[in-house]
Chain A
């Protein structure tokens, strides 16, 4: 189709906004001047990232190849990495961290989604229940964990969970004092503390699903599970993938739960996480360089997960 242009008007495809770049050859200085406002606003964010994120990250990588002794810093190649690999707690920490991540994916990932579906289906008191679900997020994590530590996970029969188990005539647990229960107990506490945010995000995604899709499914005789499987999950897959990624990255950095619930390493090292091991090396064992090396290893692993996520979501898009 031919395009006709009236005299004095801009041609299609030409910028019409007064803020858009003007079509003329411009050097770098000219471009900078033209976008001064944008750059000025950008520079704040860039500076913040540079000072508080990128610089520490680069410094950490540099430190991981150095050793400071007697105030003298020398380059030691891969020595810190080799030393960290020889740390007797290294593999235990990774095993524990992956175990926590896996458990958190099962419990901490699925539960908020199911709760969101449930809330979405409700006709009454939806707002109140939403607040109730979100309340734990507003509690400072340390306070929430102390509540679990002293009341819920008290290993005596006076403990909240043990009292409930006893009332149900079920065997009680030693909770954080049992190496087998340490990780499940930490996942329960962590899920309770954090699920509110995930539920709200899922709810928002669920409410964006066109109602006619469900109606069509119902007309086709689909039951609730079938509707969830064939409508809800496909329609929220991007959010699900995003939250799965965020969940993995967050749970791999497990730190405050072992620190508070297990007073660190827990029964027979059952709570030692990679982040806690970094803390031990950096702040208790006079080994900031080793801590930096372990931090870089963790960064690489998390970057690997992120790369997988980006690849998967790119395909989905």
Chain B
């Protein structure tokens, strides 16, 4: 073959190859709605990743057993990372229309999911027939996933924040491990004693970056009885004595007592990494933070306990709550929705099965006995069953969480447009934790103006 001909062939082959590649890229490879042979196939995300060995085994075993019990349903599991809803990935999947048929989301994601046009209404489908424990599921949680009277997701987890503390450090600092601080002045005193242990240990640690600072500011503000936005949601409502008290408490610990460690600008993983390394005495978080400390950051369950969120002079007036659920992708057939609900009912909402299979979880390195997920309504049959099973199979000392459970604090949800507001409030948190001369009034005023600007722009 002459050189020019050879080049022509090579060029044509290149073009053909590219064409095929692009065609392959643009072809929908995942046609999960195939119902050939009478079988219904659904894709479900949030399958644990390989690093979460036992959780992955449990999930896969659940799929096998579920399919055995329901031979007409095929579950295709999709793993989307250790953190099932990493906001950037989640947003990309929503925008690209690549969410699975049944997809995981946070309670605060409802508006985003609706705006993306990816979710379908399931009001008619979710009932006692499709989910046997449906009537036991806390109605307040269903309400969170409801918009305009229409239900868009099934709640599968619910949490609220309290004071998480390291018992070992409490003991070393001469503090009573069974009597954690109940007020912020007590937290300050305890933090000072713990920090005095030296070795880079922070008595109390707090977030101030990646929007997590604003998230925790909100919970701290709730503990003071405050709210982030006015009742009508049109104005910022934290530039007041309660907001200032939140920052003052942090400033006193950070620079008054030097009890918060030198490294700031922490976000979720940073703080928990330090906690797992035994460098944090106290922080605020939900019960499952202890699970993350153990399973993701190699800490120990027995080191950790929880009390209710402290208040300023007595019990906290409120705490931040949140949770997660499963949405259904728009365009599913009624059979697929039914199959999805059946799967969620099996894996997430049945005492003794899936996430509530405490007998299976007991010998594994995952906690049984944590006071969550608070899914079922008080006094409901499912709640009783779940509680009994949890008590019978606890692999951690439930006494460590008894104070948290016995002293419930009123739960408040996140504000509208939470992430944008948290990004603004991060600056106030980072300001007070990195600048010894921070002017609290100025920080709050700046944040207030910015949030008001945001709200005005939104409207």
Interface residues of A (CB under 8 A from B): 18-19, 36-37, 40-41, 43-44, 47-48, 51, 68-72, 83, 86-89, 154-156, 174, 176-179, 262-269, 279-280, 282-288
- 25 residue pairs of the A-B complex, CB under 8 angstroms, read A37-B8, A40-B8, A40-B12, A41-B14, A43-B18, A68-B115, A83-B458, A86-B453, A87-B454, A87-B457, A88-B424, A262-B209, A263-B265, A264-B209, A265-B426, A280-B423, A282-B91, A283-B87, A283-B92, A284-B87, A284-B88, A284-B419, A284-B423, A286-B115, A288-B91
Given contacts A87-B453, A268-B431, A286-B115, contact A36 B417 (CB under 8 A): no
Interface pair B15/A43, CB less than 8 Å apart:
yes
Interface pair A156/B115, CB less than 8 Å apart:
no
Interface pair A267/B434, CB less than 8 Å apart:
yes
Nearest Cβ distance between residue A18 and chain B, in whole angstroms? 8
Interface pair A47/B18, CB less than 8 Å apart:
yes
Partner of A268, one of B87, B430, B449: B430
* Interface presence of B132 (CB below 8 A): no
Partner of A71, one of B91, B118, B266: B118
Which B residues are in CB contact (< 8 Å) with A37?
4, 7-8, 11
Interface residues of B (CB under 8 A from A): 4, 7-8, 11-12, 14-15, 18, 22, 87-88, 91-92, 95, 111-112, 114-118, 200, 209-211, 262-267, 270, 330, 417, 419-420, 423-424, 426-427, 430-431, 434-435, 443, 449-450, 453-454, 456-458
Which A residues are in CB contact (< 8 Å) with B111?
286
The docked-state distance in angstroms from the alpha carbon of A283 to that of B93 is: 11
Residue on A with the closest CB to B12? A40
The docked-state distance in angstroms from the alpha carbon of A286 to that of B114 is: 11
Which B residues are in CB contact (< 8 Å) with A87?
453-454, 457
The docked-state distance in angstroms from the alpha carbon of A32 to that of B347 is: 61
The docked-state distance in angstroms from the alpha carbon of A7 to that of B15 is: 43
Partner of B117, one of A70, A154, A262, A268: A70
Partner of B262, one of A43, A69, A89, A156: A156
The docked-state distance in angstroms from the alpha carbon of A40 to that of B264 is: 56
Nearest Cβ distance between residue B275 and chain A, in whole angstroms? 17
3 closest A-B pairs by CB: A71-B117, A40-B11, A263-B209
Which B residues are in CB contact (< 8 Å) with A267?
264-265, 430-431, 434-435
The docked-state distance in angstroms from the alpha carbon of A265 to that of B213 is: 11
The docked-state distance in angstroms from the alpha carbon of A263 to that of B431 is: 14
Interface pair B456/A86, CB less than 8 Å apart:
yes
Residue on B with the closest CB to A19? B4
Partner of A89, one of B7, B22, B434, B450: B450
Interface pair A288/B95, CB less than 8 Å apart:
yes
Which A residues are in CB contact (< 8 Å) with B449?
88
Given contacts A262-B209, A285-B417, contact A89 B423 (CB under 8 A): yes
Nearest Cβ distance between residue A263 and chain B, in whole angstroms? 3
Nearest Cβ distance between residue B54 and chain A, in whole angstroms? 29
Given contacts A36-B11, A89-B450, contact A264 B431 (CB under 8 A): no
Which A residues are in CB contact (< 8 Å) with B4?
18-19, 37
Residue on A with the closest CB to B88? A283
Interface pair A71/B434, CB less than 8 Å apart:
no
Nearest Cβ distance between residue A159 and chain B, in whole angstroms? 9
Partner of A174, one of B427, B434, B453: B434
The docked-state distance in angstroms from the alpha carbon of A47 to that of B431 is: 48
Residue on A with the closest CB to B18? A44
Residue on A with the closest CB to B268? A263
Interface pair B265/A177, CB less than 8 Å apart:
yes
The docked-state distance in angstroms from the alpha carbon of A267 to that of B453 is: 21
